[in-house]
Amino acid sequence: MKLKESILKVLTDSDEPLKVKEVAEKAGVDTKEADKAIKALKADGKVISPKRCYYSVEK
């Protein structure tokens, strides 16, 4: 599974917004890699940031 897909799955499966570190741990990837992927997904409009430093998907 690609990195972005893994990140999206973690965020979709979560009931609450997560920090980058939490997403990285759940996806089993490095924090820096998760941060880059989240920023790319946010730019694509697939990920939102309901509050500073927390990320989620619109449900």
pLDDT digits (tens, 9 = 90+) for 4-53: 999 999 999 999 999 999 999 999 999 999 999 999 999 999 999 999 99
Domain locations along the chain: 1-59
Assign 3-class secondary structure to the chain.
CCHHHHHHHHHHHCCCCECHHHHHHHHCCCHHHHHHHHHHHHHCCCCECCCCCCEECCC
Res 59 pLDDT > 80: no
Contact in structure between 47 and 41 (CB atoms under 8 Å): yes
Q: Which of 28, 35, 27 is nearest to 55 (CA)?
A: 35
Q: What is the pLDDT of residue 23?
A: 98
Class of CATH domain 1-59: mainly alpha
